[in-house]
Amino acid sequence: MLLLKNFLSPQYFIELKPTFRVIMRVAVDVGSIWIAVLISWLLVDGKGVVALFTQEATRILPFAGLISIFAFIAYTDAGIYRVARRRTLLAKTIHLTWINVALLTIAGAAVSFTTPAAVSTHALLMMFTIASSLQCLARVSSAVLRSEDAGQSDRGQHEEPDPNRVLVIGGAGYIGSALVEKLLKLGLQVSVLDAMHFGEEPLARVTGHPNLTLIREDFRHIEVLTRAMSGIGSVIHLAGLVGDPACAVDPDLTVDINVTGTRLVGEIAKARGVRRFIFASSCSVYGSCDEIVDEQSRFNPQSLYARSKVASEAVLGSLSSRDFVVTCLRFATVYGISGRTRFDLVVNLLCAKAVRDGVITVYGADQWRPFVHVDDVAAAITTTLRAPAELVADEAFNVGSDNQNYTLGEVAELIKKQVPGAEIVSDPDFVDKRNYRVSFEKIRTRLGFEPAWILEHGIAQVTALMRTNRVGHYSLPTYSNVLSLKEYGAKSFGGFKITGWENELMNIDRINANTAPNRPAAA
Whether residue 425 is predicted with pLDDT greater than 70 in this model: the reply is yes
Instruction: Please name which of 77, 127, 81, 136 lies closest in space to residue 104, comparing C-alpha atoms.
Output: 127
pLDDT of 55:
55
Burial classification of residue 285, based on how many CB atoms lie within 10 Å of its CB (0-12 exposed, 13-18 middle, 19 or more buried): buried
| Lowest-pLDDT choice from 179-183, 307-311, 376-380 | 307-311
* Cβ-based neighbours of 523, under 8 Å, separated by 6 or more: 507, 508, 509
Q: How do residues 212-222 score in pLDDT, each as one tens digit?
A: 999 988 888 88
List Cβ neighbours of 472 (8 Å cut-off, separation of 6 or more): 478, 479
Between 31-35, 153-157, 194-198, 207-211, the lowest mean confidence (pLDDT) is in 153-157
Q: What are phi and psi of 452, to 5 degrees?
A: -90, -25
DSSP structural state of residue 161? P
Per DSSP (E only), the strands in 135-268 are 162-169, 189-193, 212-215, 232-237
The model's pTM: 0.69
Domain boundaries, the chain: 2-155, 161-522
pLDDT above 80 (res 511): no
146 — pLDDT class (breaks 50, 70, 90): low
The rounded distance, in Å, linking the Cα atoms of 172 and 204 is: 10
Distance in angstroms (rounded) separating the CA atoms of residues 121 and 118: 10
Of 3, 9, 19, give the one whose Cα is nearest residue 94.
3
Residue 99 has pLDDT above 80, yes or no: yes
Strand ranges (E), 240-324: 276-282, 288-293
- Please, which residues bridge with residue 473 across strands? none
**Which pLDDT tens digit goes with each residue over 226-261?**
999 999 999 999 998 888 887 787 888 888 888 989
CB crowding 109-130: b at 16 or more within 10 Å, else e: ebbeeeeebbbeeebbebbbeb
Radius of gyration over every alpha carbon of the chain, rounded to an integer in angstroms:
27
pLDDT of residue 400: 97
Predicted local distance difference test score (pLDDT) of residue 519 = 38
Q: How confident is the model at residue 170 (pLDDT cuts 50, 70, 90)?
A: very high
* Contact assessment for residue 134 and residue 36, using Cβ atoms and an 8 Å cutoff: yes
Mean pLDDT across the chain:
82
Please answer whether residues 380 and 344 qualify as being in contact, where contact means their C-beta atoms are separated by less than 8 angstroms: no
Q: Which of 188-202, 345-359, 431-445 has the highest mean pLDDT?
A: 345-359
pLDDT tens track for 360-395: 999 888 889 999 999 999 999 999 999 999 999 999
The strand pair at 520-522 and 508-511 is best described as antiparallel
Measured distance CA(263)–CA(268) in Å, rounded: 9
The CATH number of 161-522, from 3.40.50.720, 3.40.50.261, 2.60.40.10, 3.40.1280.10, is 3.40.50.720
pLDDT grade for 195, boundaries at 50, 70 and 90: confident
Per-residue model confidence (pLDDT) at position 19: 64
Round to whole Å and give the CA distance between 491 and 199: 20
According to DSSP, the β-strands at 325-331 and 395-399 are: parallel
| C-beta of residue 276 within 8 angstroms of C-beta of residue 389 | yes
Q: How far is CA 122 from the centre of its chain?
A: 46
Binned at pLDDT 50, 70 and 90, residue 56 comes out as low
Give the model's pLDDT for residue 505.
66
Which residue blocks in 170-286 are alpha helix, DSSP H? 174-185, 222-228, 244-249, 251-255, 261-271
Nearest Cα residue to 238 out of 163, 176, 181 = 176
Residue 134 has pLDDT above 80, yes or no: yes
Of 66-70, 396-400, 430-434, which range is least confident?
Answer: 430-434
Query: How much is the pLDDT for 83?
Result: 45
* C-alpha dist (Å) from residue 156 to 151, 152, 153, 250: 8, 6, 5, 41
Is the confidence at residue 431, as pLDDT, over 70? Answer: no
- Summarised one tens digit per residue, pLDDT across range 83-95 is 444 455 676 777 7
